[in-house]
Amino acid sequence: MRLTVNGKPREIASDEPAPPDGLALPALLRSFDINPKLVAVAINGDVIAKDAYGAAVVHDGDDVEIVRMVGGGAS
Amino acid sequence: MRLTVNGKPREIASDEPAPPDGLALPALLRSFDINPKLVAVAINGDVIAKDAYGAAVVHDGDDVEIVRMVGGGAS
Amino acid sequence: MRLTVNGKPREIASDEPAPPDGLALPALLRSFDINPKLVAVAINGDVIAKDAYGAAVVHDGDDVEIVRMVGGGAS
Amino acid sequence: MRLTVNGKPREIASDEPAPPDGLALPALLRSFDINPKLVAVAINGDVIAKDAYGAAVVHDGDDVEIVRMVGGGAS
Amino acid sequence: MNDRLTIAGKTFGSRLFLGTGKYASPEETVGALEASGTELVTVAIRRLDLDNPGTKTELDFIDWSRYSVLPNTAGCRTVDEALFTARLGRSVTGSDWVKLEVIPDPKYLLPDPIGTLHAAERLLAEGFVVLPYIHADPVLAKHLEEAGCATVMPLGSAIGSGQGILTLHEIKIIIENARVPVVVDAGIGAPSDAALAMEIGADAVLINTAIAKATDPTLMAGAMRKAVEAGREAWRAGRIASKPYASASSPLEGVAR
Amino acid sequence: MNDRLTIAGKTFGSRLFLGTGKYASPEETVGALEASGTELVTVAIRRLDLDNPGTKTELDFIDWSRYSVLPNTAGCRTVDEALFTARLGRSVTGSDWVKLEVIPDPKYLLPDPIGTLHAAERLLAEGFVVLPYIHADPVLAKHLEEAGCATVMPLGSAIGSGQGILTLHEIKIIIENARVPVVVDAGIGAPSDAALAMEIGADAVLINTAIAKATDPTLMAGAMRKAVEAGREAWRAGRIASKPYASASSPLEGVAR
Amino acid sequence: MNDRLTIAGKTFGSRLFLGTGKYASPEETVGALEASGTELVTVAIRRLDLDNPGTKTELDFIDWSRYSVLPNTAGCRTVDEALFTARLGRSVTGSDWVKLEVIPDPKYLLPDPIGTLHAAERLLAEGFVVLPYIHADPVLAKHLEEAGCATVMPLGSAIGSGQGILTLHEIKIIIENARVPVVVDAGIGAPSDAALAMEIGADAVLINTAIAKATDPTLMAGAMRKAVEAGREAWRAGRIASKPYASASSPLEGVAR
Amino acid sequence: MNDRLTIAGKTFGSRLFLGTGKYASPEETVGALEASGTELVTVAIRRLDLDNPGTKTELDFIDWSRYSVLPNTAGCRTVDEALFTARLGRSVTGSDWVKLEVIPDPKYLLPDPIGTLHAAERLLAEGFVVLPYIHADPVLAKHLEEAGCATVMPLGSAIGSGQGILTLHEIKIIIENARVPVVVDAGIGAPSDAALAMEIGADAVLINTAIAKATDPTLMAGAMRKAVEAGREAWRAGRIASKPYASASSPLEGVAR
């Protein structure tokens, strides 16, 4: 499946069972070995609520952002 | 004819021939002894162009503003 | 005996035995009811060392300064 | 004749007639091709008045300063 | 030499703009305008006194053939008031230039950045040449420049306060980034303030209170003229850098000892 | 009108004094002196180069019929050096005026209050007209005035630093108390600094580096001339007070709504 | 005694807020946070490095049970970027507080007054507690307060510049008019700057660079803590007025002569 | 850690010295001294009231086992008065330390550089430990150091004026050159002033009016203590340099878009 993740195109390979027309967000995060607690995720510009991760699905061509907190005070 | 001029209600008496339903702006200015060149006029919030004074008419109940330049630099 | 004390002329009366030609400093201080520990004394511009009070004598016409510490930071 | 001029030792050779025990100041200046009007002169720390140049004589070992105006505003 | 200022196609030989408020007499107004050498004079727009419509004001004594008039929206607290006053000012003066002021605050007379930008956009759409009075905010100045304003007029300090250029640092940034003339407006109290504004590269200054309320307005007007010229010439002449230590201006060598 | 400055019986129409150091060429020196309108020019005294006694300096290009010369003791670190240089300066210039400097410190070029007073007393006894360069110390200034100095010349900031009038507060006190002319010397970097010094009541300013090292010394000299005149006129015209709040310069009433 | 600060219903014992950028090591970050006594710490939101998703940052070493987290929109140049980053920050931190920054200019990092107000209105509608970073513009501050922001955070000078409180005059006006807490953000370079901000009545200060880039961040953090407390206590203790003349602190009479 | 101050062989843990004038009550005096943490307290010397020789003063309520006493010559206008008062002060306090003041001017209370040096030389010859109060004149400070004074005490601004450190630039030079402790005396109005003095490297500050005349002297004394400690720690911690432009404290890369 081709996605744009954090601004870069990526080919996602997951051996997990996936809905016919997409990939579950938890599976996507696992494929990157990401701890869901430490990030926020947006799909096509919409931020996904933490309690909605289970139901969230990414589809071919989606634009996904995955962010974390970093040290910073001002611009 | 009752007008509101510069924020105050005024009864305008003019002995000049007036259109049945109003008073010509030049006549209004004459009634105040005002030199049209030195002022700007707005009727009901619309500023009247100098070359349109002749055709402008005030009606009973109109809100008229008549202003001039004064010394001033900033607020 | 007439002295100038702290800038003002004063007549000093002391019933204590005094050297024929003067008055002992301790007697002068006692006459004012002054605790010697809390003051400094100068006779005719010379500051008297604490351990020299006993031997110090004031004579008629002398100029005596008696000072203390007061609250003050700068001029 | 050996002089110290402007801080440096100098051997002065003059073919002019000189007083047995010295050299006239005008002759000294001529030997350096100096216009007396443009300078001030001190001999052994004493500044020589302009009208006293004619009578001034330098002797062997004297310390002579010859200065001029230069551009300058402050230190 | 030629060092003229051009705003919206109009060229000025003088970089000192004057306000006309607060003068004690028409004579002082006229005297100050003449002594200042100004070519651009701002005026306020107010309701005519209908009971004395013929009363003369100081403005009636000014030879308007010598000055361009710049109507302003002084006194307007909202966008609507400013738009209305600007349109009336254009009608009475015949000039489509406007010194735009939207000032809600009565104590410090500080302009509203939001309202000023909105009003500027409206007036530009109506064909006005807009000279907005603003706080010395470099980003706001850029917004107004991009909207099409003819100049930006940042304040040095509060109107009439005479505190000088308290916003020096921000005005330097505005000048560094501006592609339209920068006119320092408000706060100038003395010629040294006016000179400083010009030395850092301002294109002009606007002065009212510091001249009108001086003990001798005409003398002060002449002083401000010289100061603006001095500051401009210094900017062109390239001032020395400021250094934290000394630098002798006489030769270090050759002192007689 | 007549607003001339008198020092030790000599009257000046210009309140701008110039130094002659650091110019890049005789042409720049002459051009700056002319453009400045100065009437009093200070010069240093140095050993003649005996190997090239005829070498011309920038000073040889100056028309001295137009300026009074003020020999200085720049470079002198001690009282004795200053006395010796002052006497040599009197001999070479023919003037018994001296700008007295006793400056032990090479980095900040700050004057020695003790040495300066001692040297001044000696030179006054020898009939000199003494203009001492001092730190902006009001009590020291009073000592020198009482000793008989013709002026006091407090520094605005370090010589040649161009930092402006860092000692503003102290100079105001000196001016308030002085009975001799106060000349602000050293530190002026731009016309705004010169104007400020005059606005607070200084009688004159002395400038060297800010003009000599400007990119265009002649243009800067003219700018400084205007600034000094502007500052003096502002002092006479009575500037407005500085207020922490605003004061409208337009009528508050009568806005059209 | 009790002098606590309340923002949007949350109460703080410390009036010093800290940023977490620019530290040389996690140890310095943790040490500075502890020494500062801060209770509110701001963090930036950035894309995860997908090639090294497990990499620890300094933030992973902080004991978050001791501090409230304040996600910020640092780096956002437009309203849309700020809205998106704010929403992501809420999701990752679990806090609906946001330090709002809309900063188009890369050199001076000055905030956009127009964009900041628009973004604030949108975020408030989405239930955020908004703490906007703004230029020290009193009218803009009032707009943001009226829109419902929890504080206003005017800048003292450019972010990371360490120039101190160049906007002192404007910040005093903001404080005089504000009905929400005023937090001075950006520009503080030394404890004296932090103390000054608090002395004029600021409710808190936010510091990052001055601590993170000090030679000894932990020592500086403790110094800033003391300075903020000192400034706050001085504001409560009622400082003396500044007078242009002296006032003896010793009796004038009774000197021995 | 150990960062103690040593003057003439005596070591102090506190770098805040206090004056004892102008307090409204003995309770305020004692409270302020305790809250300040000071270890050195200066007192004036005055004629005893012979008609009420037993009258207690605030000083009688101070626990002198906790503080070193520093008699001063406040109120002395001449060298002779200062010498006489110094000798009397040594006799009454038992301390041979003296804060030397020679102040002819009643309005600005500025010290006499000439008289102060003369008096210092005399007192040093008599075995006094001399701490002279001086104008911030670096050359004068060096003279006093070379004469053998234990410290120099330059003024920040006029005594009791609360104007802060107007002489910042000169005091920096004094500190750069001094080989004895530099104590900033006079002018401090708020903790930010005290912190600033310490940040530039002063060894201590002396405060009287700013604490004594605060609305709450005890609270202000504690604030000053924290400010002095903060300033000293900042000096040791190495503050960031001040830059004319911004420096982001968050990563520039990785913003979500």
Convert the pLDDT of each residue in C11-42 to its tens digit.
Answer: 887 666 556 678 899 999 998 999 999 999 99
Interface of C with G in 8-47 (CB under 8 A): 42
The identity of residue E249, as a single letter, is S
Residue of E117, E138, E143 lying closest to G108 (CB–CB): E138
Annotated active-site positions of E, please? 99
pLDDT at E105: 83
pLDDT at A16: 64
Convert the pLDDT of each residue in B23-71 to its tens digit.
Answer: 899 999 998 999 999 999 999 999 999 999 989 999 989 999 999 999 9
Q: Is it the case that chain D and chain G have 3 or more CB pairs lying under 8 Å apart? A: no
Cβ–Cβ of H84/C70 closer than 8 Å? no
* Closest E-chain CA to D71: E250
In Å, how far from its chain's centre is CA F138? 17
Cβ–Cβ of H92/C68 closer than 8 Å? yes
Mean of pLDDT values over E18-33: 94
Residue of G246, G250, G256 lying closest to C72 (CB–CB): G250
Convert the pLDDT of each residue in G204-223 to its tens digit.
Answer: 999 999 999 999 999 999 99
Convert the pLDDT of each residue in G135-152 to its tens digit.
Answer: 999 999 999 999 999 999
Q: Is A57 on the interface with G (CB under 8 A)?
A: no
* Closest F-chain CA to H174: F108
* Closest B-chain CA to F255: B67
Answer whether G85's CB lies under 8 Å from G118's CB.
Answer: no
Cβ–Cβ of E113/G139 closer than 8 Å? yes
Tokens of H229: 């400690």
* Closest H-chain CA to A72: H250
Cβ–Cβ of H110/F163 closer than 8 Å? no
Any idea which of F250-254, G9-13, H93-97 has the lowest mean pLDDT? F250-254
Mean of pLDDT values over H183-205: 96
pLDDT at E247: 79
Cβ–Cβ of B67/F256 closer than 8 Å? yes
CA distance linking residue A19 with residue A57, whole number of Å = 8
Q: Is B74 on the interface with E (CB under 8 A)?
A: yes
pLDDT at H159: 81
In Å, how far from its chain's centre is CA H144? 17
Residue H63, pLDDT > 80, answer yes
Angle at D68 between CA D66 and CA D69, to 5 degrees: 160
Strand partners, E16: E205
Residue G123, pLDDT > 70, answer yes
Residue located via tokens 């003088």: E14
Residue G56 annotated among the catalytic residues of the structure: no
Substitution target from H240, H250, H252, H253 for chain A, most A beta carbons within 10 A:
H250
pLDDT at E78: 96
Q: Is D52 on the interface with F (CB under 8 A)?
A: no
To the question of pTM greater than 0.90 for the whole model, the response is yes
E138 phi and psi angles, rounded to 5 deg: -60, -35
Q: Could you give the 3-state DSSP secondary structure of residue E33?
A: helix
Residue located via tokens 């009032």: G142
* Residue ranges, chain D, pLDDT below 50: 75
Convert the pLDDT of each residue in G184-197 to its tens digit.
Answer: 998 999 999 999 99
User: In angstroms, how far is the first alpha carbon of chain D from the final one?
Assistant: 35
Write the CA distances from C36 to F100, F223, G90, H63, integer angstroms: 53, 70, 76, 20
Annotated active-site positions of F, please? 99
Q: Is it the case that chain B and chain F have 3 or more CB pairs lying under 8 Å apart? A: yes
Give Cβ neighbours of residue G59 (< 8 Å, ≥ 6 apart). A69, A70, A71, G20, G29, G43
Answer whether F61's CB lies under 8 Å from F34's CB.
Answer: no
CA distance linking residue B66 with residue B3, whole number of Å = 12
The identity of residue F183, as a single letter, is V
What is the overall mean pLDDT for chain C?
88
**Which candidate, E38, E47, E46, E48, places its Cα nearest to that of E69?**
E38
pLDDT at D19: 63
Convert the pLDDT of each residue in F9-55 to its tens digit.
Answer: 999 999 999 999 999 999 999 999 999 999 999 999 999 999 988 88
Catalytic residue, candidates H10, H56, H99, H213: H99
From chain H, the residues in CB contact with C65 under 8 A are: 47, 84, 88
pLDDT at E243: 85
From chain A, the residues in CB contact with H249 under 8 A are: 72-75
CA distance linking residue G24 with residue G41, whole number of Å = 17
Predicted confidence band at H17 (pLDDT cuts at 50, 70, 90)? very high
Cβ–Cβ of G29/A72 closer than 8 Å? no
Q: What does F174-194 look like in DSSP terms, one character per residue? A: HHHH-SS-BEEES---SHHHH
Cβ–Cβ of G249/C72 closer than 8 Å? yes
Catalytic residue, candidates G56, G99, G107, G142: G99
Q: Is it the case that chain D and chain F have 3 or more CB pairs lying under 8 Å apart? A: yes
Q: Is A75 on the interface with H (CB under 8 A)?
A: yes
From chain B, the residues in CB contact with F254 under 8 A are: 70
CA distance linking residue G203 with residue D19, whole number of Å = 91
pLDDT at A19: 63
Measured on CA atoms in the order A21, A27, A33, A39, is the torsion positive or negative?
positive
Q: Is it the case that chain D and chain B have 3 or more CB pairs lying under 8 Å apart? A: no
Answer whether C63's CB lies under 8 Å from C4's CB.
Answer: yes
| Residue C22: Cβ within 10 Å count | 16
From chain F, the residues in CB contact with B6 under 8 A are: 256
pLDDT at H32: 96
Per residue, the 3-state secondary structure of G16-38, as one string, reads EEEECCCCCCHHHHHHHHHHHCC
Residue of D7, D65, D72 lying closest to E251 (CB–CB): D72
Residue E253, pLDDT > 90, answer no
Convert the pLDDT of each residue in F215-257 to its tens digit.
Answer: 999 999 999 999 999 999 999 999 999 888 887 777 878 888 8
pLDDT at C63: 94
Convert the pLDDT of each residue in F123-174 to its tens digit.
Answer: 999 999 999 999 999 999 999 999 999 999 999 988 878 889 999 999 999 9
Residue A69, pLDDT > 80, answer yes
**Which candidate, E137, E102, C50, places its Cα nearest to that of G111?**
E137
Convert the pLDDT of each residue in F47-88 to its tens digit.
Answer: 999 998 888 888 989 999 999 999 999 999 999 999 999 999
Convert the pLDDT of each residue in E39-91 to its tens digit.
Answer: 999 999 999 999 988 888 889 899 999 999 999 999 999 999 999 999 999 99
From chain G, the residues in CB contact with H247 under 8 A are: 159-161, 209
pLDDT at F102: 96
From chain E, the residues in CB contact with B35 under 8 A are: 53-54
What is the overall mean pLDDT for chain A?
88
CA distance linking residue D73 with residue D60, whole number of Å = 36
Cβ–Cβ of F230/E248 closer than 8 Å? no
Helices and strands per DSSP (H, E), number in chain G: 8, 10
**Which candidate, E209, E208, E188, places its Cα nearest to that of E198?**
E188
Residue of E104, E114, E139 lying closest to G105 (CB–CB): E139
Answer whether F70's CB lies under 8 Å from D51's CB.
Answer: no
Substitution target from G22, G59, G105, G233 for chain H, most H beta carbons within 10 A:
G233
Tokens of H113: 């550089």
Tokens of F111: 């004057």
* Closest A-chain CA to H254: A6
- Helices F217-237, F191-199: axis angle to 10 degrees equals 20
Cβ–Cβ of E249/D74 closer than 8 Å? yes
From chain H, the residues in CB contact with F169 under 8 A are: 157, 163, 166
Predicted confidence band at G87 (pLDDT cuts at 50, 70, 90)? very high
Q: What does C40-71 look like in DSSP terms, one character per residue? A: EEEETTEEPPGGGTTT-EE-TT-EEEEEEEEE
Cβ–Cβ of G74/A74 closer than 8 Å? yes
Answer whether H48's CB lies under 8 Å from C64's CB.
Answer: no
pLDDT at F27: 93
Residue of C39, C50, C70 lying closest to H57 (CB–CB): C70
Largest Cα–Cα distance of chain B, in whole Å? 44
From chain F, the residues in CB contact with E108 under 8 A are: 245-246
Cβ–Cβ of D75/E248 closer than 8 Å? yes
Residue G6, pLDDT > 80, answer yes
Any idea which of F175-184, G80-89, G153-162, H219-228 has the lowest mean pLDDT? G153-162
